[in-house]
Structure 1
Amino acid sequence: MIEENDTLGGTFPFKPHFSSGPGFRMHYVDEGQGLPVLCLHGEPTWGYLYREVIPILAQNNRVIVPDYMGFGKSETPQHLEYTARQNTDNLEILVKELDLHDITLVVHDWGRQIGGALALRQASRIRRIVVMNTMLSMGLPEEEICWTENSKESAWFGWADRAVANGTFEATLMNSGVAIVGLMKLLQGFERANVTEDFFRAYSLPFATPEEYNGVIAFPKSIVTGSFKAETGSESQISAVRAKPAMMIEGTKDKVLLAKHFVPVFKKGFPNASIHYLDQASHFLLEDEPEKIGQLILDFMKNS
């Protein structure tokens, strides 16, 4: 866990906020005023991923960026299960605690499962949806097909399958404190060239001790072993979510969630949505094109 007042050399200057509602100390950024923009990270990132987009969006909006348990500045509780459902429960508690409505929901990577489940449960609180290099999970058959086909070609899933088979998966991820940036670059992908000491600290410090590996191991392992099950919405819940204005932003150099598999699933669910391709961005597209992404979200909010 990163110390709450650590600004990482000034690269993360936001005042820390915490909720104890989920049963542990859950960190979130809360910047600006206006309609809420709820930004969800994935694996193995945290709110730091949004650091350059937050000031853009917060000029006229309230930007909330939570860290899941075991990530960023949030605690790593030992008494909770590290499942998508539990993380959704935690997020739902925070959303109700902050009394958020008319939410622009922004999801990346594992935000698809957690954000998708939140949208199914709390559709009345969601105004519009932004999906970045992922899809919005609602427990539909085409999602399972997408995962299966993607896993056959993805560099990350190829490594993960081999590592689970030969017993090195958990051992490798338990070295995340020193190896995480390398794994992010080689198997998932970002195009940013200036990997500074602050950048390395930001992504390695959350996994400094064995007690802090719960989240970084549990998420990917549940996919590779097949234990993960997306929260399934009812027909009416799914219809309510699909009625929302939606936009996709896709970094085309993604090595882990391949556009040719995920874009069609998004199109099927949101046939009227706009899709913006960023050809100089990879999986962690917020590290590559933050200014463009921030402006795309602002324009989308203005016009939907």
Structure 2
Amino acid sequence: MIAAAETFRGTFPFAPHYSSAPGFRMHYVDEGAGSVLLCLHGEPTWGYLFRDLVRRFSPTHRVVVPDHMGFGKSETPADRTYWLQDHIDNLESLILDLDLDDITLVMHDFGGPVGMGLAARHPDRIARVVSINGPTPFGQPGLAEALEDNGDESPWFRWIAQANQSGTLENVLGELKYNILSTLKLNGFENNQIISETWIEAYGAPFPTPAESRGAIGWAKGFATGAHVFEAPTDAARAKLAEIPALAIWGGADRTLNSAYFLPLFTSAFPDGIVTELPGVGHYSIEDAPDTVGELLSGFLDATTTSPTHRGGGALDE
């Protein structure tokens, strides 16, 4: 894992915090005060992905950015599995440890199903949902078909299936420190102007050895083997969440998660949700178009802010 004090030449200047509640040393950023923005990263990134959002929103919100087990500054234990359900368990432990409420979920990539797993278990703690190229499926009708159809088209998921079948998946992702840029480009990273030595170092730093790459390997292998379990909410939880404000921001040049398959899942879960597609923006839309994403999120938060006695779209708290 990355050293606690590492700032990558001042590009990630946020104080480190740690919780042992999930059963390992889990790192999180915790900046600002007020309504909570809980930012959840995916594969193969970490909290560094949200550095611009932390700077933008910590003056007005409490921005909490965990690193999932095996990523960023969090520990990579050898005796744990790294399936979706494990990450949901870990996140739930952290949120209960910090007693976070009035949460706006801000989710990218596999942070989507992790965050939605938390929402399924604790709908009363969730005030808003923001998907930024982050799938928002529960265990719901259409999910299996969407995953299969997307997997047939996506270069990343095709590679996962082929590499797992040939026995090379662990070897390639075990060297992620050295092929981090090619992995990001494969997934759909478009903004070449942002690439620098520091940027590449920051994204490769969590994976110095095969043993430290268990998180990235586990997420990919879980799809190849069907080990990931998507959380299924109760009917009451599903109904409650369907009424909260929701926003999807989707980079249209995403080569990993095709909007044609995943935005219908978003609108199924959030019938009144707002959908904005960004032409020419890739999978890592927060890197490709940080100003646009920041402005869209700011406008959404302003439009859905209510009095302290109300939550989300204005329904009284229960």
TM-score (norm 2): 0.92
- Say whether the 8 Å CA contact 2:30–2:62 is kept in structure 1: yes
The 5 Å alignment of 1:54-69 reads 54-69=54-69
Give the Cα–Cα distance (whole angstroms) in 1 for the partners of residues 223 and 11 of structure 2. 32
**After TM superposition, where is structure 1 displaced by more than 3 Å over at least 4 residues in a row?**
none
Instruction: Indicate the residue corresponding to 2:148 in structure 1.
Output: 148
Instruction: Indicate the residue corresponding to 2:135 in structure 1.
Output: 135
* CA-atom RMSD in angstroms: 1.2
CA displacement 1:256-282 (0-9 Å, x = unmatched):
001111112212222211111222310
Amino acid across the alignment from 1:235: D
CA displacement 1:163-214 (0-9 Å, x = unmatched):
1222211111111110122111124334242311111111111010122111
Instruction: Indicate the residue corresponding to 2:290 in structure 1.
Output: 290
Instruction: Indicate the residue corresponding to 2:201 in structure 1.
Output: 201
Give the Cα–Cα distance (whole angstroms) in 1 for the partners of residues 36 and 194 of structure 2. 31
The structural deviation recorded for 1:96 is 1.4
Give the Cα–Cα distance (whole angstroms) in 2 for the partners of residues 97 and 25 of structure 1. 13
Give the Cα–Cα distance (whole angstroms) in 1 for the partners of residues 8 and 69 of structure 2. 20
Give the Cα–Cα distance (whole angstroms) in 1 for the partners of residues 160 and 74 of structure 2. 26
Give the Cα–Cα distance (whole angstroms) in 1 for the partners of residues 86 and 160 of structure 2. 23
The structural deviation recorded for 1:254 is 0.3
Query: Cα–Cα, structure 1 residues 187 and 128, in superposed 2: closer, same or farther, change >3 Å?
Result: closer
The structural deviation recorded for 1:84 is 1.4
- Say whether the 8 Å CA contact 1:192–1:287 is kept in structure 2: no
- Say whether the 8 Å CA contact 1:53–1:291 is kept in structure 2: no
The structural deviation recorded for 1:301 is 1.4
Instruction: Indicate the residue corresponding to 2:8 in structure 1.
Output: 8
CA displacement 1:64-105 (0-9 Å, x = unmatched):
000001100011112222121121111111111211111111
The 5 Å alignment of 1:42-121 reads 42-121=42-121
Instruction: Indicate the residue corresponding to 1:234 in structure 2.
Output: 234
Most deviating of 192-201 and 54-63: 192-201
Give the Cα–Cα distance (whole angstroms) in 2 for the partners of residues 85 and 187 of structure 1. 23
Instruction: Indicate the residue corresponding to 1:184 in structure 2.
Output: 184
SS in 1 for 2:106: strand
SS in 2 for 1:6: coil
How many residues in Structure 1 have an aligned counterpart in Structure 2? 304
- Say whether the 8 Å CA contact 2:76–2:214 is kept in structure 1: yes
Amino acid across the alignment from 1:126: I
Q: Which runs of 5+ in 2 are unaligned?
A: 305-318
Give the Cα–Cα distance (whole angstroms) in 2 for the partners of residues 163 and 290 of structure 1. 33
Most deviating of 225-234 and 64-73: 225-234
Amino acid across the alignment from 2:27: H
SS in 2 for 1:213: helix
Query: Cα–Cα, structure 1 residues 187 and 103, in superposed 2: closer, same or farther, change >3 Å?
Result: closer
The structural deviation recorded for 1:112 is 1.6
TM-score (norm 1): 0.97
Give the Cα–Cα distance (whole angstroms) in 2 for the partners of residues 223 and 236 of structure 1. 29
The structural deviation recorded for 1:157 is 1.2
- Say whether the 8 Å CA contact 2:176–2:207 is kept in structure 1: yes
Amino acid across the alignment from 2:20: S
Amino acid across the alignment from 1:276: T
Instruction: Indicate the residue corresponding to 1:251 in structure 2.
Output: 251
Give the Cα–Cα distance (whole angstroms) in 2 for the partners of residues 86 and 190 of structure 1. 31
- Say whether the 8 Å CA contact 2:85–2:231 is kept in structure 1: yes
Give the Cα–Cα distance (whole angstroms) in 2 for the partners of residues 169 and 102 of structure 1. 39
Give the Cα–Cα distance (whole angstroms) in 2 for the partners of residues 283 and 108 of structure 1. 9
Instruction: Indicate the residue corresponding to 2:41 in structure 1.
Output: 41
The structural deviation recorded for 1:20 is 1.3
Give the Cα–Cα distance (whole angstroms) in 2 for the partners of residues 268 and 113 of structure 1. 15
- Say whether the 8 Å CA contact 2:187–2:283 is kept in structure 1: no
